[in-house]
Structure 1
């Protein structure tokens, strides 16, 4: 495992969560309990090694908010540490996420949210700005080289959909 990435106003919450859905729920719960503002980034991070799990990071806008969050999370029994576990978190909470519902163009997605870039699996270049994206209400970009990047895949009718779906079918579900 790489050493933690220490960035001002970022903390990691390690609640011994084992899957992404539970980590997503935890981030939403923490954001509500802490009354975090809209501009907060909340990410999940896969932690490998002898105890695989999903840790969560929160990037907060101010040092006082960081201190308050850290105190309240620690008092609530959460394991909290400074910085992020790595630099490639999967964003669950980020500016504009609540406006990414239904079908919108790539240009709209980029202008409404903190997402910096969109890629398409199997495509050498970015999609055209007027390409339609069917979000399914589940848009989980990942940090890549300090940019928030959404990976998509082609779908019906020339549209795109996020690569990650909200409720994936487990491998071998019909066995």
Structure 2
């Protein structure tokens, strides 16, 4: 999506906390329709997860910046990278239960569904059922919003990212 991008670095350490922060923004800020809220992994000497908000209008971006700064957040222009993981995007709330790939593409901003270990071209067949698990997190790839899915039982697909992942070393 093209538009005005603001990045908030709240020093978050994991994706779940970043998802929660974006959902809190959606509930508490006057976000316009068509907003994209993404997570970005920031590497380096202080690894963390930053979030970005992309809106179409400069005036809306300025208002959001003002509100975020007033709440104590550090806000920067632009995105940390071009491969953000989308949490807020048009149609995200409609992706519930089981839908066909064609339905997912028609009701959301997702441009393409690819399948790991699937078809030779890697593209999902439009009539294939996708069990969303109410957790659909596509990523930006070459300017397109792409959902990566994997084969599941009964000829269905599921998003590659699971809603409640087991933390690394959870049994230690």
TM-score (norm 2): 0.94
Matched, 1:12 2:11: no
Structure 2 residue corresponding to 1:51, chosen from 21, 46, 54:
46
Matched, 1:65 2:70: no
Q: Deviations over 1:7-40 (max 9, x none)?
A: 6411101100110000000011112211212310
Which whole-Å CA distance do the structure 2 matches of 1:118 and 1:163 have between them? Answer: 11
Matched, 1:121 2:131: no
**2:164 corresponding residue in structure 1:** 167
Which whole-Å CA distance do the structure 2 matches of 1:139 and 1:26 have between them? Answer: 17
**Structure 1, gaps ≥5 residues long:** 1-6
SS at match of 1:157: helix
**Structure 1 stretch 121-130 or stretch 42-51: which is displaced more?**
121-130
Is the 8 Å Cα contact of residues 8 and 83 (structure 1) preserved in structure 2? no
Q: Alpha-carbon deviation of 1:63?
A: 1.1
Structure 1 residue corresponding to 2:130, chosen from 123, 130, 133:
133
**Structure 2, gaps ≥5 residues long:** none
Matches for 1:32-51 after TM superposition, within 5 Å: 32-51=27-46
SS at match of 1:170: coil
SS at match of 2:24: helix
Structure 2 residue corresponding to 1:76, chosen from 53, 71, 94:
71
Q: Deviations over 1:128-172 (max 9, x none)?
A: 110000001000000000000000011110000000011012344
